[in-house]
Amino acid sequence: MKNYSSLSKAALLMAAATSGMAATSQAAVVYIESINGDLSNFSASPTVLTSGIDEVNGTLTDPSDPFDYFILSSLAPGGTADFSFNFNKPNTSYGVNFTFQDADSLAVLFSTGSNNAASGGGTTGALAVPLSGQIRISVENIGSAEGFPVGTSWTVSTADVIPEPSGTALVALGALLALKRRRD
């Protein structure tokens, strides 16, 4: 019969208690459009980013590249994700819009509307991640009577992905069961 020391029990309990936090504290993975490739300009066929990307940096120009559409596909299904977004453009004569949607149903989870300021940003608050683990993001320049989109740089990031509570509870339960000694 194997005897577990109180130190190894404490280590397993600590692992069970912090397992959810460990999943959210990994190093950031950044996708830079000018280095990693142009994101889709077509709403019907967004670029799917699958490698656990936490930050996406892009640019919009007119008329050749006024929109970027992409899907972040490695989010915690059933959990929540808090996105931040920033933009910088040369003037206030046109707007830029960020829209976050369920990738399957296309239900809008959050939309900024037209941001006409020369620069700005914000946050979505906690969005429910669909069971597919995918959120579709659109970044669109919006023309106006005074001007058309030219040279907008933007960033969308999420480092705050929280797994579904029951998933974390299952990991903790498994760690606690590992502590149980079998008596022969």
Task: Please tell me the predicted confidence (pLDDT) of residue 172.
Answer: 47
Q: What is the pTM of this model?
A: 0.73
Strand partners, 179: none
pLDDT > 80? residue 160: no
DSSP character for 116?
Answer: -
| pLDDT tens string 10-49 | 444 444 444 444 444 456 789 999 999 999 999 999 999 9
Residue range 59-63: average pLDDT? 81
- Dist CA 136 CA 132 (whole Å): 11
Q: What is the pLDDT of residues 105-117, one digit of tens each?
A: 999 999 998 888 8
Residue 165: the pLDDT is: 55
Higher pLDDT, 169 or 43: 43
List the domains of the chain with CATH numbers: 27-162 (2.60.120)
Q: Which amino acid, 155?
A: T
Tokens found for residue 120: 């700005």
Least confident of 24-38, 82-96, 140-154, 156-170: 156-170
The rounded percent of the chain whose pLDDT value lies above 70 is 67
Angle at 119 between CA 117 and CA 120, to 5 degrees: 95
* 74 burial via Cβ count (<10 Å: 0-12, 13-18, 19+): middle
127's tokens: 């969005």
**Rounded Cα–Cα distance for residues 160 and 65 (Å):** 29
